Structure 1
Amino acid sequence: MSDQHEGKGSCLCGKIRIFASTVNKSISGCHCQMCRKWGGGPFLVADCGNDVSFENQENINIFSSSQWLERGFCNQCGTHLFCRLTENKQYFIPVGIFEQPKDFIFERQIFIDEKPAYYCFANETENMTEAEFVAKFPRPTA
């Protein structure tokens, strides 16, 4: 069984279609304050590399939330479409966007040191602090 597959999906209103050549079946949950503020809770994403395309991309607004990360959303319905590393254009796409995401496996939590005490996942996962995550995906130096 492969740990990757192609992915297709759309935003809530259907204006934007997403096509990812590679979707890692291993999903991550981010607990950083920005992700929680953006979505109201942890952000559950699949790593999709940088071979991602969009239909009707003129409906995508991009917000640079930091020097190293951009967030894309639909300007019609507000659906969160991606987080993208600015350095290498690597996409992390919310798993709920994909059609029939039945084979995802929740394997990693990042920014675990920023997770509030009011929720907890039951899954056994790899847990990475902010420092551990930054070491794996270095932020560009301005």
Structure 2
Amino acid sequence: MKDRTTQEGGCQCGRVRYEATYDPENAYLCHCRMCQRATGGVSIAFLSLAKDNFTWKSEPEWYASSSFAKRPFCQECGTPLGFQFDEGRNMDLAIGTLDDPYGIEPQWHFGVERMHEAWLDTTHLPRKRADEDETLLAKWRESNGGMPE
């Protein structure tokens, strides 16, 4: 890996934490039906990396999503953290769980037989900022002082 990056990440509530060293060129979107059901989305952004380049700082729970693979998650907040075959040297990390997921770009699509094409290019849709929604901002200010990072 020529452009390896190391950073930490974790779940929404912060109970599960990890450190990962990865090559941003191994980022992809998975559209398979299992990932759609596991995340509730039409796809998930993953980074493929060697298990040797990954350390759990605090352990997640695991769901056996098939007879040959499992998925780490946080039982407190429900954040899906990745995917891992029982056998093999690599794993997939959910990009959105990185502390700084910005700047990573997908390099390929996987599970394209279940791809929802209408959700790929959405540049024609109007855009709305969450931090400009006064009702939402008031709720965040009241509950914890401001918008979450």
TM-score class, shorter-chain normalisation, is 0.7 to 0.9
- The answer to whether the 8 A contact 2:18-2:58 is kept is no
In the other structure, the counterpart of 1:105 is 105
In the alignment, the residues of structure 2 paired with residue 91 and residue 121 of structure 1 have an alpha-carbon distance, to the nearest angstrom, of: 27
Q: Secondary structure at the match of 2:47?
A: strand
Higher helix proportion, which one?
A: 2
Letter in structure 1 aligned against 2:58? N
Q: Shift of residue 56 of structure 1?
A: 2.3
Query: Equivalent residue for 1:28?
Result: 28
> Offset of 1:101 from its aligned partner?
2.3
Counterpart-to-counterpart distance in 2, 1:34 and 1:118? 19
Larger strand proportion of the pair: 1
Q: TM-score, normalised by structure 1?
A: 0.75
- Considering only aligned residues, what root-mean-square deviation do their CA atoms show, in Å? 1.9
* TM-score w.r.t. length of structure 2: 0.71
Partner Cα separation in structure 2 for residue 77 and residue 89 of structure 1: 28
Amino acid at match of 2:45: L
Residue of structure 2 equivalent to 1:4: 4
Identify if the C-alpha distance between structure 1 residues 103 and 118 changes in structure 2 by more than 3 Å, giving closer, same or farther.
closer
Aligned with 2:46: secondary structure? strand
Structure 1: gaps spanning 5 or more residues: 123-142
| 2:31 and 2:115 in contact (8 A); partners too | yes
Which blocks of at least 5 consecutive residues in structure 2 are unaligned? 123-149
Runs of at least 4 residues of structure 1 off by over 4 A?
Answer: none
* Corresponding residue pairs, total: 119
